[in-house]
Amino acid sequence: MTTIVAGRFQTSEQADRAVDGLAAHSITRDRISVFYVTPPGQHDLTPVGGDRQKSPGLEHAERGAGVGAAIGAGAGVAGALIGVTAGLAAPLVAVAGLGAAAAGAYSGALAGAMGSAMDPGQHQIRHAGMLVAVDAGQTPVATISAALRDHGAVDLETAEGTWANGTWDDFDPTRPPRLIDAGTVPASSAAASE
């Protein structure tokens, strides 16, 4: 595996300037790959288009819907039982209770599914733009990330991957990036680049 450092740029002109800037650090062109990453959902990795068979944001939606439906139905049944014990007409309360249970189950399922699907902490996406990827080789990761950042790179990341014929051969646009925070380098990448 090769340590790869990459940064995203808004324009190809910015990416080209970054490539020129990397030469000042003795990074040859065969260790640099520049390519466009399409927006999430537009990578055409499945036969019908898109990136995945199932949206990563919906991984927990089924469980959330089940929990919400159970809570909503339970609330409807509880309301019906309260009505019966309060002395209301039993057949009327039973019909109303079934309706309340069904409405509660539907509302609860919808709320549970949406709440689970919209959890922003579940996954991180890779944003679209020009990606400049560098085979770190013997160059410290911190040097490469600083050079990319100096030329306007955002979403700096590091990865362990396959570098072949001047390209990041096993790049997967759906894999969440391992971002490098400004001024820090992940320990595994720092050790690999020393």
User: For position 188, what pLDDT does the model report?
Assistant: 41
In tens, the pLDDT along 98-155 reads 666 666 656 665 665 555 554 444 456 788 999 999 999 999 999 999 999 999 999 9
Instruction: Give, in degrees to the nearest 5, the angle at Cα 154 between 30 and 19.
Output: 25
The DSSP bridge partners found for residue 37 are: 129
User: For position 143, what pLDDT does the model report?
Assistant: 94
Nearest 10 degrees: Cα torsion 34, 22, 188, 120: -50
> What is the C-alpha separation between 177 and 126, in angstroms, rounded?
6
Q: What is the pTM of this model?
A: 0.58
b or e along 61-72 (b: 16 or more beta carbons within 10 Å of the residue's beta carbon)? beebbebbbebb
Contact (CB, 8 A) for 45 and 174: yes
Contact (CB, 8 A) for 33 and 133: yes
Q: Which residues of the chain have pLDDT under 50?
A: 43, 118-122, 183-194
> What is the C-alpha separation between 66 and 113, in angstroms, rounded?
8
